Amino acid sequence: MESVRLDRWLSAARIFKSRTQATAACDDGEVRVNGVVAKPSHALKVGDEVSTTAPRGVVVLDVRALSDRRLSPALARELYVDRSPPPPPKGEVFPLRDRGAGRPTKVERRAVERFRGR
């Protein structure tokens, strides 16, 4: 196998849960191969660099092997070398109230609403 469709490889490598999601990401311009926005039918080859915004965040992969069938997670990890940046730090966590402290006061309720962006 010299090449495989980009959307099939993204699904086989378990970057997206389904081929439909991989195709949608390609159509939306979220997937790049060697720095160029790629269509779902792009012929992917060993050595290409794939970068995308997947559900887990920004992903940068070097293609090591090709497959057009969905593989187990262990085998799927052998299809690529992951060069993704580390995930961003967790967002601000709102302080928890003591258990049994009763209902929040109006000031506390408004602070929670401001935090949630309402």
Query: Where do the structural domains in the chain lie, given as residue ranges?
Result: 4-82
Rounded to two decimals, what is the model's pTM? 0.73
Q: What is the mean pLDDT of residues 47-60?
A: 90
In whole angstroms, what is the distance from residue 44 CA to residue 51 CA? 13
In whole angstroms, what is the distance from residue 65 CA to residue 42 CA? 16
Least confident span in 3-17, 32-46, 94-108: 94-108
Query: Mean pLDDT of all residues in the chain?
Result: 89
pLDDT at 92 exceeding the cut of 70: no
pLDDT at 13 exceeding the cut of 70: yes
pLDDT per residue as tens digits for the range 65-88: 999 899 899 999 999 999 998 877
**Which superfamily is assigned to 4-82 in CATH?**
RNA-binding S4 domain (3.10.290.10)
Side-chain half-sphere CA neighbours of 87 within 13 A:
7
